[in-house]
Chain A
Amino acid sequence: MFKRWHIAPLLAALTLLSMLFSACGGASSASTSTNGAQSCPATRTLNGAGSTFDGPLFSKLFTVYPGVKCGANVNYQLIGSGAGINDLLNQLVDFGATDAPMTDAQLAKSPNGPIIHIPVTLGAVAISYNLSGINGHLKLTGAVLADIFMGKVKTWNDPEIAGLNPGVTLPNQNITVVHRSDGSGTTGIFTHYLSAVSDDWKTKVGAATTVNWPLGVGAKGNPGVAAAIKATSGSIGYVELAYVVANNFPYALVQNAAGNYVAPSLDGAKADAANVSDIPADLRFYIVNAPGNDSYPISGFSWMIVYQNQSNPDKGRAIANMLWWVTHDGQSYASALTYVPLPGGIVTRDEAQIKSMKCGNTPCYTGK
């Protein structure tokens, strides 16, 4: 029977429980402060949000970063590039991550001056599908992909697909298209590719982080698309390579600009990036469908975006340190997770961008 005097001990127990959890928390994140406070920023927590393309990579990096000298707890939430850009524009996060560079219109909305783009990784967008009884990888061209995603090709045994894959028995099954329901940089990369290879797509749908998809099922984030493909037999969708490899999903070989069928891979993405000629100074560019025999045409960089003028100097230094680490030491984790380590030329340009961050009157980054 509940008595009034039960209240006090109950409350005490609950408070104790919460304090216990807080104490746990305090212990694990304080490990970085032992390293003699010479010029480590006091800010130990950073908040970022955006791209799910980078999900596996960031998830690994940010479990390592708290243990690094002058590291921090970086709380990164995968909400999609579009939402990441918006959160940065609303000044709700310290940095955003996006695989689609901000448009001029979006940059114009900045409330706090210029926003700089820092490429942090390079990856491939794989075309994955869920079909039983297929050995090997299906071959697809950009034109056929556009037709599938526009609904012109409705079944797997359509002559357009069968023609590219002689010797493969394709089932007479409806194709379920899976795409993103949220604003996505991965969508940006994929739709830029489709616009490059199909004029029909370019006029009817276009290229952006959010488009008016003609048909299909919408899933949230790269993980959501991967999960939806896994759950839906006969489905096809576009997913970042790391998710495909980690879960052993089948992927298609896509025809590149040189006419070769290339698998989504580190080498394919690297070749695609290497064959892009003029990279603009502000580092906002797409690399889809680049020339080259080994290029995988649906590849893209992914950026972290931050304000150039940091209103909080201490936090700005912490952000700069994090950016530097991610673009240098952090790159050693990339290959194992199927991301391409940044090419040297890009790293140099990143350094210039990071050094241009201003904390008050001084640059934010004070290392070498």
Chain B
Amino acid sequence: MKTTPLMQSNIAAQARRVSALTRRGTRGKRRLGDIIFRNFTLLFVLITLALVVGVAWILVSYSLPTITAFGFSFLTNQAFDPVHNVFGVAPAIFGTLVTSCFAIIFAVPIGIGAAIFLVEFCPLALRSMLAFVMELLVAIPSVVIGLWGFLVLASWLNSSGEPWLQSHLGFLPFFRGQPHGLGLLAAGIVLVIMILPLIISVSREVMLTVPQSQREALLALGATRWEVIRHVVLPASRVGIMGGIILALGRALGETMAVTMVIGNQATKPSASLFDTGYTLSSVIANQFGEATQGLFLSALLEAGLLVFLITLATNVLARWLVARMGRMSIGGLNT
């Protein structure tokens, strides 16, 4: 609100009068109230910190038995054998990486494409509605996507999808081998569905921060929309979009339920075939926690948990750092 000099001096005088009235005799009280409130919130903050530290500490301390027993070979050992007390999560790491990479490879082009449409080409009237619709995809719980994946996707893949891929694209090593339906391909597809909305919303927010004036300048020079995107929007958003991709990768690496329901839960020798069954670090935990009493088995599962924790932590940190470099992004905007 625009204030005239007269108004400003009136407001200042008013403020002086009021603060003179209230300041007398309240200085001590005011400080005490503030201190109590501040420490009250601080208490809750400390509880939150304690929880996080507690989670990390539990993970580390319960993993120590297998860390000391197997050391680095835990990461490379193929066999996860509770009967003989030999544990290795190489197939789990392999499954986690393969499904997540598959998801990123397919979700990123589609996600960025959809975001480009939303930001650059979409008629204004449709814009917010479409964006809302795409974000609704996030609201579908992973157990429902797993339900659909197990009952519909897997049997379709087994009867039609994978045989078709094998007959038409079988020269690629990814589509050889025996179709099972359940397996790495099904898990990859399910993950695409789960991380797509995240990529769309982050890319969209990032692209929106590019000043409209820059776009208009290039358009005024006669560029096509695509050239504007290529020369202005994408270079400016590149870092933020990378951050979004890494965030989505972190999400894919940690996804548990939907993947567990469709991945087949059986390790095969690592091969290039996407038709193979497999398992991921999270699915091992979900499947096996009930079997594990104290001892090496429980410790192995918690070490798998520690691995997931560290991997998702690393991707999260990297993503936030990248996005923070964009400046105007806030933490809340990435909370999908």
Q: Decide if A and B touch, CB cutoff 8 A.
A: yes
A231 in contact with B181 given A86-B290, A183-B291 (CB within 8 Å): yes
Contact B265 A181 (CB under 8 A): yes
| Candidates B183, B264, B279, B291; contact of A210 at CB < 8 Å | B291
| Candidates A183, A213, A232; contact of B266 at CB < 8 Å | A213
B145 at the interface (CB under 8 A from A): no
User: How many angstroms between the C-alpha atoms of A363 and B54 in the bound complex?
Assistant: 44
User: How many angstroms between the C-alpha atoms of A176 and B291 in the bound complex?
Assistant: 26
Residues of chain A from 74 to 111 with CB closer than 8 A to chain B in the complex: 79-80, 82-83, 86-87, 89-90, 109
Find chain B residues with CB under 8 A from A220 CB.
265, 287
Find chain A residues with CB under 8 A from B287 CB.
181-182, 218, 220
Q: Give chain A's interface residue range (CB within 8 Å of chain B).
A: 20 to 34
B62 at the interface (CB under 8 A from A): no
Contact A176 B79 (CB under 8 A): no
Contact B83 A232 (CB under 8 A): no
Contact B266 A208 (CB under 8 A): no
B81 at the interface (CB under 8 A from A): yes
What is the minimal beta-carbon distance from A215 to any residue of chain B, in angstroms?
A: 7
Find chain A residues with CB under 8 A from B47 CB.
none
Residues of chain A from 203 to 253 with CB closer than 8 A to chain B in the complex: 206, 208, 210-213, 215-220, 227-228, 231-233
Residues of chain B from 149 to 187 with CB closer than 8 A to chain A in the complex: 150-151, 154-155, 158-159, 178-183
Find chain A residues with CB under 8 A from B180 CB.
176, 217, 232
What is the minimal beta-carbon distance from A201 to any residue of chain B, in angstroms?
A: 15
A219 to B, closest residue via Cβ: B265
Find chain A residues with CB under 8 A from B178 CB.
174, 176
Contact A212 B158 (CB under 8 A): no
What is the minimal beta-carbon distance from A51 to any residue of chain B, in angstroms?
A: 12
| Candidates B155, B264, B288; contact of A217 at CB < 8 Å | B264
Contact B81 A212 (CB under 8 A): yes
B86 to A, closest residue via Cβ: A212
User: How many angstroms between the C-alpha atoms of A232 and B268 in the bound complex?
Assistant: 18
Find chain B residues with CB under 8 A from A83 CB.
290-291
Residues of chain B from 120 to 160 with CB closer than 8 A to chain A in the complex: 150-151, 154-155, 158-159
Contact B158 A233 (CB under 8 A): yes
User: How many angstroms between the C-alpha atoms of A228 and B79 in the bound complex?
Assistant: 24
User: How many angstroms between the C-alpha atoms of A181 and B286 in the bound complex?
Assistant: 11
B4 at the interface (CB under 8 A from A): no
User: How many angstroms between the C-alpha atoms of A83 and B291 in the bound complex?
Assistant: 4
Contact A218 B264 (CB under 8 A): yes
Contact A218 B293 (CB under 8 A): no
B66 at the interface (CB under 8 A from A): no
B203 at the interface (CB under 8 A from A): no
User: How many angstroms between the C-alpha atoms of A101 and B290 in the bound complex?
Assistant: 17
**Nearest 7 pairs of A and B residues by beta carbon:** A83-B290, A218-B265, A181-B265, A231-B155, A218-B266, A183-B291, A82-B291
Q: Which A residues have a C-beta under 8 Å from some C-beta of B? A: 79-80, 82-83, 86-87, 89-90, 109, 174, 176, 179, 181-183, 206, 208, 210-213, 215-220, 227-228, 231-233
Give 14 new A-B contacts, CB below 8 A, not counting A83-B290, A213-B266: A86-B291, A86-B293, A109-B293, A176-B158, A208-B83, A216-B266, A217-B277, A218-B264, A218-B279, A228-B182, A231-B150, A232-B155, A232-B181, A233-B158
Q: Which B residues have a C-beta under 8 Å from some C-beta of A? A: 79, 81-83, 150-151, 154-155, 158-159, 178-183, 264-266, 268, 277, 279, 287-288, 290-293
A-B contact pairs, 12 of them (CB 8 A): A79-B290, A86-B291, A183-B290, A208-B83, A210-B83, A212-B79, A217-B264, A217-B265, A231-B150, A232-B155, A232-B182, A233-B158
